[in-house]
Amino acid sequence: MKRTMFRCLPVVLVVLWIGACADKPADERDEDMSRPATFGFQTSLHQTLIDEGKITYERYCLGCHGAAGDGAGEAAVFLNPRPRNFVTARFKFSSTRSGQLPTDDDLRRTIKNGLRGSAMPPFNLLSDRKVDALVAYIKTFSPEWTEREPASPVPFVDDPYGEEGRAEAVARGEAVYHGFASCWSCHPAYVSEARISDYIVQFGGQPREVFRPGLYESDGKANDEGEMVYPPDFRRDYVRAGMTVRDIYRSVSAGITGTAMPTWIDSIDVPGKSPGDPPVVSQKDLWAMSYYVQELLRQRPPLFDEGQVSVRNRPRPIYLHGAPTPAAPSEAAPTSQPDVDFEF
């Protein structure tokens, strides 16, 4: 009798363990193999994954992110923005709130898609296994991954517009961007001052006449490491974490760790004046602003005129491959830039 019980024990444990996983909601389920599990054999599987990750890392990532993961690889001095320092475990682009650790899916997405407008290349030819291994290995550079609770993505609201509602979303997005969220306090404004004032009144504010100098350019903000970061001017710059409406929605709702870009999903709910009134602004407006931002991104000219350099690139302009290199560092744009393919 006793012996049968012992024989059954592993089966019982596995059944209990599967049961425990099934109870969790989909977004909290630990689908990833990169977290050590408590069973001995799984810990060694995890170590194998880390060992594999190290090999891939040393082949593809070390030159920029450094052997110690501190973002100080050989190439780092030439790069602006600089490669991420994995030791501090502060990741910018995630579905989690600004300041929190990213999810494994966030890291996988960054590795597979790269970060456009920075040196971080897309590694979309690596197998899923290799990407999982990289994720596991990157985490060994910082104790934060074991000391801090894993974070969950911010609540996800369904897109109320869709492609057929694009025009409505863009119009609403323009109003919320300028009249409620004041995104122009860091990013540029894209409508006249009088129009902004009208939008502010539309959301219940006082008419406004005085705006910051340089309203139509982005305003540099220091990041946590004391470096000047220019918020993108959506008509001129790339956004890094992807250009689909969903990608933009993620960046806007979750915010960007270590920079001035806030977690908007926490500050966008304003109920109507009386019960039954529609809300003044709601989380759905994050979608409207995402459509609006994408519309601005689509206006980016394939070629810039001479002298037009994006403000964001000013500290150290990065010239595209094939463009003539200027004799001395200056703000002058190269006379011709190759056509940039631009897909959504």
Distances (CA, A) of 231 to 180, 191, 236, 311: 18, 18, 11, 9
Q: Is residue 260 a contact residue for ligand HEC (CB under 6 A)?
A: yes
Q: Is residue 239 a contact residue for ligand HEC (CB under 6 A)?
A: yes
* Residue 37 C-beta: closest distance to ligand HEC, Å: 23
**Helices of type H across 176-262:** 193-202, 245-254
Please name the residue that has the structure tokens 């089966």. Answer: 11
Q: Is residue 134 a contact residue for ligand HEC (CB under 6 A)?
A: yes
Distances (CA, A) of 235 to 209, 217, 271, 304, 308: 25, 10, 32, 11, 12
Sign of the alpha-carbon torsion through 243, 246, 247, 251: positive
Contact 219, 186 (CB under 8 A): yes
| Identity of the amino acid at 319 | Y
* One character per residue 41-80, x = contact with ligand HEC (rule: CB under 6 A): -------------------xx-xxx---------x---x-
Choosing from 251, 253, 283, 310, the residue that interacts with ligand HEC (CB under 6 A) is 251
Choosing from 141, 161, 190, 264, the residue that interacts with ligand HEC (CB under 6 A) is 264
Q: Is residue 236 a contact residue for ligand HEC (CB under 6 A)?
A: no
Residues 281-300 that bind ligand HEC (CB under 6 A): 289, 293
Count, residues in the chain:
344
* Residue 53 C-beta: closest distance to ligand HEC, Å: 9
28 — phi, psi (to 5°)? -100, -10
For ligand HEC, the closer of residues 39 and 178 by Cβ is: 178
Residues that bind ligand HEC (CB under 6 A): 60-61, 63-65, 75, 79, 81-84, 91-94, 107, 110-111, 115, 118-121, 123, 134, 177, 181, 183, 185-187, 221, 229, 231-232, 239-241, 248, 251-252, 256, 259-261, 264, 289, 293
